[in-house]
Structure 1
Amino acid sequence: MMLTESPESLRLLDALHAVGLGNDAQVGHGTGAVASPTRLATEWAGFVVAVGAQSWYAKVLHDDMKELIDVARTVDASRCAAQAEATVALRIVDMQRGVLLFDRLEASEWRWARVDDLASPERLDALWAAKRQVHDGPAPMFVSSPMDDIARLRALCRRDAVELPIDGLRTDDCIDRAWNALQASDVEVVPLHGDGLASNVMVGPQGELKLIDFDYGGCGDPWYDVAITLNELYQFEPQWREGIVRWAGRCDEADYARCRLYALVNDWYWTLWGLWLGTTSPRRLEFTKLAQWTSLRCRQGIQDARFEGWLRLLKG
């Protein structure tokens, strides 16, 4: 096996031996991690595992992610999405070692999407259809709360004396106000993908799409999936509004406000994520650089003259 020894590769090999595959498996490295700007393969180490003609894509949770990723929830959300045929099937789970083996999409036929692959109206329609597959599918047994995730990171940042942006306290307060406004009205609760990254969409040989990575899945407001996807794909307001029209058939001001506020919450999560990992992770990835970008985008949203109006609109 041409495999560089690491804590993750050793855990993978132990997991394969535990299910009787260790002696026959051929194992190679998968996608390398890139923190900024894509957050590609940052939470899990990737490996390609083959036994005869059968192959899987293995993911092994990095040690520095254990306080952020709940493996059991990832498994639940991934299995539900696979039943909805929105993602690949999860075949082997080793909860103790943090190892997951999924059906492998052939690398010669499938690739990670880029923003340009998804931004056109036609491709956005296909992406919305993939998200709806998740929303209409079996429901994981838990609620996904971006605010609970932020609270966890706030505590970790305090514990590890992470230096926040100079206006971090004000931003924290604005995020709390945004979240309270978002909770002011009853919303439909459905299964979510929970991740808007273009690189968490796979493009197939005929242009078909599959969603991957359900670490932030669970049940929640479908507008959260819409918002974080728009935040990934588009820079300008008319593009956001057109994206909402293609999702809902029209763009109400309340729906636009909801998307903008959810995007702020998501950007603040990734800001705290990047700052905490940039301070504490032993891996030499550009976590802090990602945080600088999401912090800037979050700050710009809060400074928008309509921010207070968005809060009032959702509070009714």
Structure 2
Amino acid sequence: MAASAAQADVTEALMVFTDRQAVVRNRAEARLGGSLDSLESPLTVLASPAWRGIEADIWLARRGNQSEVYKHYHTDLAHYVDPPAAIAAAKSAGDVGVGPRVLQSWEEDGLFAMEYLGNGWRAGGLHDSANTVVREGIVAAKKALQAGPKLSRDANIFNEIRAAHAACTTHKANLPKNITAFLNFADRAEQAMSRLEVERVPCHRDGNTANLMIGPSNVVRLVDYDLAANADPYEDIGYHLMEVFDREPEARDGFVEWTGFFEEALFQRAMVYGILDDLRWGLIALTMAASSPRSTLEFAKYASWRMLRFEMTSQTSTAGDRLRRLA
């Protein structure tokens, strides 16, 4: 009986995959003017150790000398992604020149087409952050997005943590035993931040170095605008510092790389956002582990290391000092 159930799950997953592929193929053939020479999904999807390709299938469609990339959102992530807003942000980033140009979108399908950057471009990785030119490119792209037109929605990490925790509760996710203390830190951080006047600007809001494309001469383009919104620009800085630098002395240098100056209170503000990013993603991943039909992906494993790092950085006297010193 167990074998039959497993086989049924595999069959159902294959049918869903085939149906989703057909949606993309139909849109691509209409755009490119006929039958495709190829439709490939070149991305290896991973929940752990890197969160890559989770939100959407990525397809490369080719016909003759034409090539386009299609991003097709999954339906099991409505608790943290608004596909129409993400598509709108991708369009804005393409217009600004920091991301691939969006060529057409079909919001009803959770699908859009974007330019294929071509040979010589590749997906980024954490190892690229050791390259000073790449880091400068990341910062320049995110600052250019921040200077561009406002996006279609506002957001902040505190509301997202509450929403992610509510989703965990709804889906009976296996929460950490210290979740009350974890949420308490988020509440204290929100209270500390509440006294600040924040100018919301368009932000990428994703520090994951897998969400970069790196081209010839280490040119950088940003991809994946799934959380993009008008927000505190120090969110972007904090997520970048937490992703790229293992130790605080290097993170302080990284802050200067971004801002051109150092101010302790602003650095602590960025670092608190970076710490909270682990809690947000840990809760998101726990919800996915409890609710997503894509049960072969290691959502719980990803959540465990995010929560481990959050505990290490938030449940200390140093974390309390950060809250007292931020501005």
Same fold (TM over 0.5): yes
Which of 246, 271, 279 in structure 1 is aligned with 2:290?
279
- Preserved contact between residue 61 and residue 99 of structure 1 (Cα < 8 Å): yes
Contact 2:134 2:220 in 1 (8 A): no
Residue 20 of structure 2 is aligned to residue 8 of structure 1: yes
CA contact (8 A) 1:49 1:55 kept: yes
Aligned equivalent of 1:204: 215
Distance in 2, Cα, partners of 1:15 & 1:154: 36
1:261 to 255, 272, 280: 272
Whichever residue aligns with residue 320 of structure 2, its letter is: E
Aligned residue for 1:156?
A: 167
Determine the structure 2 residue equivalent to 1:194. Answer: 205
CA distance change for structure 1 residues 22 and 150 in 2, over 3 Å: closer, same or farther?
Answer: farther
Q: Return the offset for 1:23.
A: 4.0
Residue identity opposite 1:155 in structure 2: A
In the alignment, what sits opposite 2:3? none
Q: Aligned to 1:142, which of 150, 153, 161?
A: 153
| Structure 1 residues not aligned, in runs of 5+ | none
Residue 55 of structure 2 corresponds to 43
Aligned length: 311
Q: CA RMSD in A?
A: 1.9
Task: State the alpha-carbon separation in 2 of the partners of residues 127 and 68 from structure 1.
Answer: 24
**What CA distance in whole angstroms lies between the structure 2 residues aligned with 1:82 and 1:158?**
37
- Of 304-313 and 222-231, deviating more is 304-313
* More displaced 10-residue stretch of structure 1: 192-201 or 138-147: 138-147
Cα separation, 2, equivalents of 1:186 and 1:119: 34
User: How many Å separate the matches in 1 of 2:317 and 2:99?
Assistant: 40
| Cα separation, 2, equivalents of 1:66 and 1:11 | 20
Q: Structure 2: which 5+ residue stretches go unaligned?
A: 1-13
1:29 counterpart = 2:41:
yes
**The residue matched to 1:129 in structure 2 has which SS?**
helix
- Segment of structure 1 superposing worse, 149-158 or 283-292: 149-158
Following the alignment from structure 1 to structure 2, what is the Cα–Cα distance between the partners of residues 103 and 16?
Answer: 12
Q: Quick one: which amino acid aligns to residue 60 of structure 2?
A: V
Distance 2:28 2:125 in 1: 32
The share of aligned pairs that are identical, in percent, is 27
Aligned ranges for residues 214-233 of structure 1 at < 5 Å? 214-233=225-244
Q: Spell out, residue by residue over 1:34-69, the C-alpha distance to the aligned partner (whole angstroms, 9 max, x if none).
A: 111221111101111123322111111112123322
Q: CA deviation at 1:179?
A: 2.3
Residue 237 in 1 paired to residue 251 in 2? no
Q: Does 1:181 align with 2:192?
A: yes
For 2:272 and 2:278, the matched residues in 1 are separated by 10
Aligned residues of 1:200 and 1:212 also touching (Cα < 8 A)? yes
**In 1, Cα distance between equivalents of 2:33 and 2:178:** 51
Q: Which amino acid aligns with 2:124?
A: A
Equivalent AA in structure 2 for residue 246 of structure 1: E
The CA distance in 1 between the partners of 2:175 and 2:56, in whole Å, is 26
Q: What is residue 294 of structure 1 aligned with on the other side?
A: 306
Secondary structure in 1 matching 2:108: coil
